[in-house]
Structure 1
Amino acid sequence: MHARKYRLTATVAALAAAAGILTLSPAAQAARDGAAPAAADGSGGWQPVPDRTVDLQVLAVNDLHGALEPPSGSGGQLIHEHEDGTTETLTAGGVEYLATGLREARRGQERSITVAAGDLVGATPLLSGLFHDEPTIEALNALEMDVAGVGNHEFDEGWEELVRLQEGGCHPVDGCYAPGREFTGADFPYLAANVVDEDTGEPVLAPYTVQRLNGVRVGFIGVTLEGTADIVTRAGIEGLEFRDEVETINRYTAELADQGVHAVIALVHEGGYPEADAYNADCDAAGGGLSGPITDIAARTDARVDALVTGHTHQPYVCTLPDPSGRDRLVTSAASNGRLFTELNMEYDRLTRDIVRTSVEGTNRVVDREQERAPDLTELIAYWNGLAAPVANEPIGWISEDIEGRGAGTPEFPLGDLIADAQLAHARELDPDADLALMNPGGVRADLVFAASGDEGDGVVTYGEGFTVQPFSNTVNLIDLTGEQLLAVLTEQVSGPNEASPKILQPSAGLAYTLDLTRAGADRVVAGSVTVNGEPLDPAATYRVAVNSFLAGGGDGFPTLAEGTDPVVGNDDMAVLAAYLTANSSAGAPLAAPPADRITVVE
């Protein structure tokens, strides 16, 4: 199915028109859907044409994060499991290859639709982020995206900017990026069923869409996680309310049913964690399985929803979970950064106008870099790279080896420590008495990779590579915390909203403590082990702490940080990282990866 230009201002009218269209007589509706009147046997109802079921294909991605070029480091890797149980690491991703893979998958399919489950933009590399993600929207249009649900990162620059990405137009501050070339917006609808105006209760974008595919009608409902407000900058979402995912999906499933739309797929920007690491592991086999927030959502979501396409956790899985009626239902996720896409194949029953649940099959397909690149995407990337090159290729530092971020797979990781050290150095320029810095792990978006990604040479860190690591444009802020508050912050890493999925703040030099993962909740932080600059934590003392502006507002489930006093706002965090790398490395003396030994982990 080819993408169509879709305008937000037409959403309500389009939905109303769809509702009107669906009030056809049974005979007219049956004729449209390929059914014929029943034989005159007194049974009433309608009989299908000879081919009662037809094939339907759904291709899905999630958490692309503007990774237009092949992602480097762990962000571009997948673990593949062979039949004998051995594994190997694959490199994957890049929209030139993703386009080829999607187009090949669609070949020969009469009814195919491409969908996404959020975070297509936001936290993006410089190639997209420098231009407020216009390049990613243009790439998605070229990929023939049909429907996308929103994720939390779609709100990184505020909901009004999301509306601009939907509707088009030049950026309100930066304007258009080339003479005579105006951004036209997304050719597909963004769905945000559970994101409502807190005054009116109405969704700020379309809650659902009904897609028509050669006589087949399929409804798609898009929701983001209810906790979005806790993990984005609050200034951009003033006046919005993020409602319960399940209640919202169930409400609109019923509304679609009233319109005669019984084939329904939910696009849910919330996810889970499979037991196995391999993208192709059997989630339903012994030792498999799925945990995390999506399992509760799936258990409570209306049984009339035929599949859940999910995201947010950046994990790959195709799992079977029971719906409230006990029937099996697929729940899928295609990792992140365009490394995979999910292919869902199913049958649509033209008599019941529903998906045959037992026919639904799903597979995660690798976006293989050995395949041909799509020339139109290559051209698009080259165009934006030409505009970005003067900024992107500027060297800002030198490293002697890979410096891993979250891909290290450990609570504390080398790049987190490096960023925290950079922020502490900046903080001490503002206030020589600054004691320590804390960096949220989710703000570290990639690794720093030793091998050159262009012609800059191995070990050179460019501004573009640094921006890929820290794309949010937060400021580095200083606040005062008491020792008691600092301990509370550390326990919030592993308790409250972060208990199930801990968010371990990356510590600068000067902070050390023991994290005992054999314990539960807040007790995992061993209180008596905390030291600051070599001295035991004093609950009554005041400590000067550097955090980014997102954390300073209590983001990521750290409300105690919002209680900090005597604030000072510093420089942009990317500028701080660039300055630190430039000051502390050279071609002759490159930086090595920090040992990441400030937190003693007991497992």
Structure 2
Amino acid sequence: MAGGAASGLVEIGIIGLNDFHGSLEPPRQAVNEADGKGGVIPVPAGGAAWLASAIDSIRARHPQSMTVSAGDMISASQLASSLYLDEPAIGVMNRIGLDFNAVGNHEFDNGQQELLRKQNGGCEKFTAKEPCALEPFTGATFRYLAASTKRADGSTLFPATGIKTFGSGSQAVTVGVIGLTLRGTPNLVNPTGIQGLTFGDETETINAAVPMLKAQGADAIVVLIHEGGRTKGEPNPQGCENFAGDIRPILDRLDTRVDVVVSGHTHWAYVCDYGALNPAKPFLLTSAGVYGELVTDITLQIDPVAGRVISKQARNVIVQSVPYTSSRGPLGNTPLFPQFQPRADIAQYVAKYVEASKAYTQRPVGKIDQSAPKSEGPGEKGGGPLGNLIADAQLGATRDKGAEIAFMNPFGIRAPLVPAADGTLTFGDIYLCQPFGNNVVTETMTGAEIKAVLEEGLDDTGPKQALAPSAGFVFAYDLSRPAGDRIVSITLDGKPLDMARGYRVTVNGFLGLGGDGFSGFVGKPDTVTGPTDIDALEGWIRAVPMRAVPQEARVVVK
């Protein structure tokens, strides 16, 4: 029903997404959810057609609803979307019926002109890839929002806010939406793509927009922000245990008239009654994880006379889809949660792009001797076997540049490598692992500078991330020590690293620009550019009949 007839309240559903990253097909990842018996069960989830069905099921509960996204809908995408400039990701969201999407940092990966084309449509070419390769592209039917992203003249790249009214007469209610990305976006993208743009303070931007929306008659205020946090302990998409992250200082200064914050960026799922964390800020905070594996069902009860939200609640719905084989073995469905069926129109639309990309995705690239899992958790223990394999590949690809050491950022590893029974990997497999197309760079750093950059990954600014090193490089750290002095030993080929000597170091171009907060890689001498990260990985795997996945511990936690 439209609202509580007896109470006079109007019910509005807000359906929340974030960090879709062009996941047209099921991403072969699981959502870890409580099994009701004190344990946790992994549930296979995701895929655009299944996501559409899950959203339809939520809409059936809310005759009046809107669907919103907190950014990174595109880029770092599956190959079937990336090959076609993420036009099919936009096409999927058009068919799903998205209303608003806040820009995220990855929206800028191909530059602002290409992002404007995503909104407006057309086939003008702004990248090396050909636009409109399969069909004309008419642009997004939903509205991008970019409240904190401004041009030199002070105008925003996209509108700062959106507004939607439901019902009529005495039962009419209006929801105002503010959308923005994180202030640190310039540290996460190629500077050439955002030339002339500035990214403002998140809280100041939101607080300036709230009174304007209220003046337009907004009864509820929803913020879509591409910034987030993480919980600690067992994974719990419905909870908010020990919540921490870069979003908290933003939230603690927000206008109290904000009702709901839909967040993203950290790829972590949570539902928080933020008033339990800060009684002065009693809004609802949500995140639906990543890759369309979850979708958030938010229910608002609004008093149209008083013009305010009376109650709010949310739950994350698992988009249970199809079984798959993980690096730990087969993973099947569970009757503990609904299993959605693919929505036919979107399945057909996705199939067209998947079929067109098969020449790329199914090409064999070589063999590995076992599955290579990506590291789980916050990244304090390095990149695991897969991080080590990637670092070795980048070192091998740049030996001709004098490289002696390579590092990989674990947060830049998107999926494990799971070979076929005979060890074969396809290009599609390695692309899922590294979808960015970053060139690797080799530069000169002293031992002291290498230690300093490793310390950056373990400081108290943002989530901790121990870089995965190449073979022969081992470091140990102790988090009980003060920030900046947590590395307790570093060796190369069994000998202590010489703090005064210069070493040739290879990293991906994202790290080379200071990405993930690793400013120590920026501006180093004798920097030369090598192949793309995915070409380096393919070349390393292909170079031998069967590439062994490294198992030794290169990062030691004291």
State the TM-score, normalizing by the size of structure 2.
0.91
Question: How far has the Cα of 1:165 moved from its partner?
Answer: 0.9
Question: CA distance change for structure 1 residues 146 and 317 in 2, over 3 Å: closer, same or farther?
Answer: same
1:519 paired with 2:481, answer yes
Structure 2 partner of 1:374? 343
SS in 2 for 1:518: coil
Structure 1 partner of 2:163? 210
State the alpha-carbon separation in 2 of the partners of residues 86 and 50 from structure 1: 41
Structure 1 partner of 2:140? 186
Question: CA distance change for structure 1 residues 324 and 206 in 2, over 3 Å: closer, same or farther?
Answer: farther
Q: 1:318 aligns with which of 259, 265, 271?
A: 271
Question: How far has the Cα of 1:547 moved from its partner?
Answer: 1.3
Question: How far has the Cα of 1:318 moved from its partner?
Answer: 0.6
State the alpha-carbon separation in 2 of the partners of residues 83 and 178 from structure 1: 48
**Equivalences for residues 46-57 of structure 1 within 5 A:** 52-57=8-13
1:338 paired with 2:292, answer yes
Contact 1:440–1:506 (Cα < 8 Å) also in 2: yes
SS in 2 for 1:251: helix
**Equivalences for residues 275-294 of structure 1 within 5 A:** 275-283=232-240, 288-294=241-247
Question: CA distance change for structure 1 residues 547 and 108 in 2, over 3 Å: closer, same or farther?
Answer: closer
Question: How far has the Cα of 1:437 moved from its partner?
Answer: 0.7
* Equivalent AA in structure 2 for residue 209 of structure 1: G
State the alpha-carbon separation in 2 of the partners of residues 243 and 127 from structure 1: 34
Question: CA distance change for structure 1 residues 509 and 140 in 2, over 3 Å: closer, same or farther?
Answer: same
Structure 2 partner of 1:444? 413
SS in 1 for 2:69: strand
Structure 1 partner of 2:463? 501
SS in 1 for 2:499: coil
State the alpha-carbon separation in 2 of the partners of residues 170 and 593 from structure 1: 43
1:598 paired with 2:554, answer yes
Gaps of 5+ in 1: 1-32, 35-47
Structure 1 partner of 2:121? 168
State the alpha-carbon separation in 1 of the partners of residues 6 and 33 from structure 2: 42
Question: CA distance change for structure 1 residues 560 and 363 in 2, over 3 Å: closer, same or farther?
Answer: same
Structure 2 partner of 1:267? 224
Structure 1 partner of 2:333? none
State the alpha-carbon separation in 2 of the partners of residues 306 and 188 from structure 1: 22
SS in 1 for 2:416: coil
Structure 2 partner of 1:120? 73
Question: How far has the Cα of 1:328 moved from its partner?
Answer: 2.4
1:564 paired with 2:521, answer no
**Equivalences for residues 47-446 of structure 1 within 5 A:** 52-72=8-28, 76-170=29-123, 172=125, 173-178=128-133, 181-197=135-151, 199-214=152-167, 215-283=172-240, 288-322=241-275, 326=280, 328-356=282-310, 359-369=311-321, 370-407=339-376, 410-428=381-399, 430-431=400-401, 433-446=402-415
SS in 2 for 1:226: coil
* Equivalent AA in structure 2 for residue 69 of structure 1: E
Question: How far has the Cα of 1:273 moved from its partner?
Answer: 1.2
Structure 2 partner of 1:537? 497
Structure 2 partner of 1:38? none
* Equivalent AA in structure 2 for residue 595 of structure 1: Q
Contact 1:511–1:530 (Cα < 8 Å) also in 2: yes
- Deviations 1:146-174, CA, capped at 9 Å, x for gaps: 11111111111112211111111125053
- Deviations 1:228-251, CA, capped at 9 Å, x for gaps: 111222221111111111110000
Contact 2:269–2:289 (Cα < 8 Å) also in 1: yes
State the alpha-carbon separation in 2 of the partners of residues 135 and 168 from structure 1: 12
Structure 2 partner of 1:492? 456
Question: CA distance change for structure 1 residues 321 and 51 in 2, over 3 Å: closer, same or farther?
Answer: closer
Contact 2:187–2:513 (Cα < 8 Å) also in 1: no
State the alpha-carbon separation in 1 of the partners of residues 48 and 31 from structure 2: 16
Question: How far has the Cα of 1:488 moved from its partner?
Answer: 1.6
* Equivalent AA in structure 2 for residue 396 of structure 1: V
Contact 1:224–1:270 (Cα < 8 Å) also in 2: yes
Question: How far has the Cα of 1:559 moved from its partner?
Answer: 1.9
Contact 2:46–2:292 (Cα < 8 Å) also in 1: yes
- Deviations 1:96-143, CA, capped at 9 Å, x for gaps: 111111111111532111111111111111111111111111111111
Contact 2:105–2:188 (Cα < 8 Å) also in 1: yes
Question: How far has the Cα of 1:315 moved from its partner?
Answer: 1.0
State the alpha-carbon separation in 1 of the partners of residues 493 and 220 from structure 2: 60
Question: CA distance change for structure 1 residues 128 and 355 in 2, over 3 Å: closer, same or farther?
Answer: same
Gaps of 5+ in 2: 322-338
**Which protein has the bigger helix share?**
1
Structure 2 partner of 1:548? 508
Identity %: 38
Question: CA distance change for structure 1 residues 319 and 184 in 2, over 3 Å: closer, same or farther?
Answer: same
SS in 1 for 2:398: helix
State the alpha-carbon separation in 2 of the partners of residues 65 and 541 from structure 1: 41
State the alpha-carbon separation in 2 of the partners of residues 325 and 275 from structure 1: 21
* Equivalent AA in structure 2 for residue 504 of structure 1: A
State the alpha-carbon separation in 2 of the partners of residues 556 and 338 from structure 1: 23
Question: CA distance change for structure 1 residues 176 and 132 in 2, over 3 Å: closer, same or farther?
Answer: closer
Question: CA distance change for structure 1 residues 324 and 403 in 2, over 3 Å: closer, same or farther?
Answer: closer
State the alpha-carbon separation in 1 of the partners of residues 264 and 424 from structure 2: 33
The count of aligned residue pairs is 531
Question: How far has the Cα of 1:304 moved from its partner?
Answer: 0.5
* Equivalent AA in structure 2 for residue 219 of structure 1: G
Higher mean alpha-carbon deviation, 345-354 vs 398-407, is at: 398-407
Question: How far has the Cα of 1:503 moved from its partner?
Answer: 2.3
Aligned-residue Cα RMSD (Å) equals 2.1
* Equivalent AA in structure 2 for residue 309 of structure 1: V
Question: How far has the Cα of 1:324 moved from its partner?
Answer: 7.5
State the alpha-carbon separation in 2 of the partners of residues 399 and 174 from structure 1: 30
Question: How far has the Cα of 1:417 moved from its partner?
Answer: 0.8
Question: How far has the Cα of 1:342 moved from its partner?
Answer: 0.5
1:574 paired with 2:534, answer yes
Question: How far has the Cα of 1:523 moved from its partner?
Answer: 1.6
Contact 1:262–1:304 (Cα < 8 Å) also in 2: no
- Deviations 1:188-235, CA, capped at 9 Å, x for gaps: 0111101111x2222111111001222321110011111111122222
State the alpha-carbon separation in 2 of the partners of residues 546 and 444 from structure 1: 16
State the alpha-carbon separation in 2 of the partners of residues 566 and 293 from structure 1: 34
SS in 2 for 1:170: coil
Question: How far has the Cα of 1:348 moved from its partner?
Answer: 1.6
